[in-house]
Amino acid sequence: MNKIVQGAFCLIFGMLSIVAGAQVKSVDQKVDSVMGLMTLEEKIGQMNQYNDDWTATGPVTLDNTKAEQIRQGQLGSLLNCMGTRRVRSWQMIAMQSRLKIPLLFGQDVIHGYKTTFPIPLAEACSWDTNAMELSARIAATEASAGGINWTFAPMVDIARDPRWGRVMEGAGEDPYLGSLIATARVKGFQGKKLGDLNAVMACAKHFAAYGAAIGGRDYNSVDMSDRLLWEVYLPTFKAAEEAGVATFMNSFNDLNGVPATGNKYLQRDILKGKWDFKGFVVSDWGSIGEMINHGNVKDGYEAALSAITAGCDMDMESRNYKDHLAQLVKDNKVPVALIDEAVKRILRKKFELGLFDDPYRFCNAEREQRELNNPAHAKAAREIAAKSIVLLKNEHQLLPLSKNIKVIAFIGPLVKPIMQNKGFWDVEVPDIDSSYVVSQWEGLKNKVGKNTKLLYAKGCAIEGENRDGFAEALEVAKQADVVILSIGERRDMTGEAKSRSNINIPGVQEDLLKALLSTGKSVVVLINAGRPLVFNYTAEHATAILYTWWLGSEAGDAIADVLFGDYNPSAKLPISFPLSVGQIPIYYSHFNTGRPATSDTNHNYNSSYNDLSIFPRYEFGYGLSYTTFKYSNLQLSKKKMTSNDRIEVSVEITNTGNYAGEEIVQLYLRDRVGSIVRPVKELKDFRKISLKAGEAKTIQFVIDKEKLSFYNQKLEWVAEPGDFDLMIGASSKDIRLTDSFELIP
């Protein structure tokens, strides 16, 4: 660059910075000017969030003075208040307060608002971050049209224990995949920028390590090393923070004996300190008060002190901030500066959302009607639902089914129910018919031509021992060319407070399968669930298995699309499926141990179970397609690299089957020797590619220092020189090509 150009560049850049600086400053200035008008009580008011009366997602505090408290400026936000009519009515009350500070309206928009998308764990099976960003985008568009400006999503907790009911809300067991999905979801919810009409604030939750609750029991303690915390449980939160997430929610659990809600290390030192997070932190429902039960504080006064000191800015429903913060300030236990910091963070977001310009901007009933009936949303929901279905087994290439089949028997307790398909955490939108779901029966009916006859029998209930329906099911099966059996959990068997010690397919559903197979017919099993279930009989005997999870509004059509090959399944599991609860926690990126077990038969003083396999039923990254893919021609640009260097990796993938399809090509690394031992393999990259039958594509990966780094004993992020194994595969077990390289000093 010559001097003149350089000078001009500096001038323009300087001017831009001034303009940008002025903009940032102007929000801060506005915040400061409001702060200057506020009494201590009004400031504390901003730090309280109450539940509305419409629906409850936690233990309710009955309170008929809410409106008056809002009028007095004693409330900053409501949750579970939806629909433009209702939101507007509360906001009007806020506008009667002295300073007319608008309320925030928060809601668990976890997998859709009116249009329900697949549960988050199901969507994660797509490994398709664009699709997940789109589903969050649509959810935000609908929610914001319904008055909401803040979703309590995404849940970015890593989960390795399917007994934990909330495994359904996350992206599975892996920090690399989880971080990409966290980023996509934050971007989807928040859109181009907060302040746009269709953007809502996202909330990364639950900070931190909630997914590691001991025994998979919800709300339970978490005990883990700093290394595990930093390496596995924090990266998804860091990714959300880097994606610009507006808020964080802390968590119910204690971490190594300190409740997350009062945990200064997590909130002040890491989040607001090291990561320099500029948004605000909300408690989980009542979690400030629950610190008394934890046995970490004596009473509500101490609980409020602990939470604010630790960096929790807003109290969801415990009311300890409301009851004790003013006194804590008077007693010189809490400096006003701490209150100011929290309130500024909250007000900044209210300004960014544009609520001070127009508190009713998300309350346009016309827009609500339009966005909540947008057919494009259903189309997207159907596409991502199909992408979320995992083909686990396909003996004799039974699937895809031919559209010319004469008679199909569709059997099972989940064929006809409608709302079950929504899964847990669906949203019941007021004033709008939110019951729209394509049932599995309807989906199949929509798909087949008039020459195909569909027969139905329920067979049995989801739970219970009653086999009275078996006879009818057998009768129906005998008349059919193929049987499709839809079984699984109830939708509310996973979700918050839905931990289970027995995760087998409930009731007599697998016995029904056994009976149906005795007819000699081929049986395709659809497994509907919110978590990895245990279903060994089905895995061994069914002819084909589709794991359909809970797919949302378009479940029926999406399932039919996959059954008949209009969509060739491409999903891969983001979480290991155990053979038995006895294996839990089970995850692919484990350490080798000093006495690794390599088989299920040799228990000679090695790290195995004497009575159970150590291998999962289905491993992380597993999922079949109607076509097959050949992996070949792995090439590394070099075999040695320094930490400033990079290695380019290329591999050729060929579709060797008869159908067009997508493959998720996975790249794993193993650091052979580390000052902290390294997992047997770690996912470091992947590509989802689409290939026509017979087509081949070469794909590229880059290995750089970042991919080789880990937290050492001093918690420094380092790449240690030495040998690395490179594995390219179709799953964490199905490794097709390997090589190695060296990181040199």
Active site residues: 284
Tell me, what amino acid is at 489?
E
Distance CA 514, CA 517 (A): 5
CB-based burial label for 540 (10 Å; 0-12, 13-18, 19+):
exposed
Torsion angles phi and psi, residue 248, rounded to 5: -125, 150
CB-side exposure of 303: number of CA atoms within 13 Å?
23
For the bound state, the minimum distance from the C-beta of residue 614 to ligand NOJ, rounded and expressed in Å, comes to 33
Tell me, what amino acid is at 679?
P
For the bound state, the minimum distance from the C-beta of residue 275 to ligand NOJ, rounded and expressed in Å, comes to 21
Q: Which is nearer to ligand NOJ, 285 or 351 (CB)?
A: 285
For the bound state, the minimum distance from the C-beta of residue 641 to ligand NOJ, rounded and expressed in Å, comes to 43
**Cα maximum dimension of the chain:** 89
Q: Which parts of 389-548 are beta strand (E)?
A: 390-394, 407-411, 453-457, 482-488, 523-528, 544-547
Planar angle of CA 159, 162, 239, nearest 5 degrees: 15
Closest CA to 525 of 393, 672, 343, 680: 393
3-class state of residue 84 by DSSP: helix
For the bound state, the minimum distance from the C-beta of residue 574 to ligand NOJ, rounded and expressed in Å, comes to 20
CA–CA distances in Å: residue 54 to residues 79, 86, 316, 371, 417: 10, 9, 16, 22, 25
List the one residue from 113, 237, 285, 620 that touches ligand NOJ (CB under 6 A).
285
For the bound state, the minimum distance from the C-beta of residue 109 to ligand NOJ, rounded and expressed in Å, comes to 10
496 sits near ligand NOJ (criterion: CB under 6 A): yes
For the bound state, the minimum distance from the C-beta of residue 725 to ligand NOJ, rounded and expressed in Å, comes to 39
Q: Which is nearer to ligand NOJ, 185 or 205 (CB)?
A: 205
205 sits near ligand NOJ (criterion: CB under 6 A): yes
Q: Which is nearer to ligand NOJ, 161 or 284 (CB)?
A: 284
For the bound state, the minimum distance from the C-beta of residue 56 to ligand NOJ, rounded and expressed in Å, comes to 8
Closest CA to 124 of 699, 686, 591, 712: 686
CB 41 within 8 A of CB 69: no
Alpha-helical regions (H) of 518-554: 536-541
Q: Which is nearer to ligand NOJ, 106 or 488 (CB)?
A: 106
List the one residue from 30, 40, 57, 244 that touches ligand NOJ (CB under 6 A).
57
108 sits near ligand NOJ (criterion: CB under 6 A): yes
Q: Which is nearer to ligand NOJ, 43 or 531 (CB)?
A: 531
For the bound state, the minimum distance from the C-beta of residue 268 to ligand NOJ, rounded and expressed in Å, comes to 21
52 sits near ligand NOJ (criterion: CB under 6 A): no
CB-side exposure of 607: number of CA atoms within 13 Å?
11
Number of residues that bind ligand NOJ (CB under 6 A): 9
3-class secondary structure per residue, 704-725: CHHHHCEECCCCCEECCCEEEE
List the one residue from 27, 35, 58, 85 that touches ligand NOJ (CB under 6 A).
58
Say how far residue 398 (Cα) sits from the centre of its chain: 32
Distance CA 41, CA 329 (A): 11
Q: Which is nearer to ligand NOJ, 81 or 586 (CB)?
A: 81
Q: Which is nearer to ligand NOJ, 251 or 570 (CB)?
A: 251
Q: Please list every residue from 66 through 85 that binds ligand NOJ, using CB under 6 A.
A: 79
| CA dihedral sign, ordered 150, 154, 157, 161 | positive
Query: DSSP string covering 246-301, please?
Result: SEEEE-SSEETTEEGGG-HIIIIIIIIIIT---SEEE--TTTTTHHHHHTSSSSHH
Residue 505 token pair: 């397919």
Q: Tokens 């141990």 label which residue?
A: 593
Q: Which is nearer to ligand NOJ, 252 or 629 (CB)?
A: 252
Q: Which is nearer to ligand NOJ, 57 or 580 (CB)?
A: 57
Name every residue whose Cβ is closer than 8 Å to that of residue 351 and which is 6 or more positions away in sequence.
27, 30, 31
161 sits near ligand NOJ (criterion: CB under 6 A): no
Q: Which is nearer to ligand NOJ, 248 or 622 (CB)?
A: 248
CB-based burial label for 343 (10 Å; 0-12, 13-18, 19+):
buried
Alpha-helical regions (H) of 314-430: 320-330, 336-352, 365-371, 375-388
Q: Which is nearer to ligand NOJ, 55 or 72 (CB)?
A: 55
Distance CA 212, CA 221 (A): 8
Distance CA 130, CA 327 (A): 49
Peptide bond into 175 cis (omega under 30): no
List the one residue from 90, 117, 152, 321 that touches ligand NOJ (CB under 6 A).
152
Distance CA 622, CA 520 (A): 28
Distance CA 280, CA 203 (A): 9
Q: Which is nearer to ligand NOJ, 79 or 477 (CB)?
A: 79
Count of Cβ atoms closer than 10 Å to residue 351 Cβ: 19
For the bound state, the minimum distance from the C-beta of residue 129 to ligand NOJ, rounded and expressed in Å, comes to 22
Q: Which helix (H) or strand (E) holds 67?
A: helix 66-71
For the bound state, the minimum distance from the C-beta of residue 155 to ligand NOJ, rounded and expressed in Å, comes to 7
For the bound state, the minimum distance from the C-beta of residue 208 to ligand NOJ, rounded and expressed in Å, comes to 13
For the bound state, the minimum distance from the C-beta of residue 205 to ligand NOJ, rounded and expressed in Å, comes to 5
| Interface ranges with ligand NOJ (CB under 6 A) | 57-58, 79, 108, 152, 205, 284-285, 496
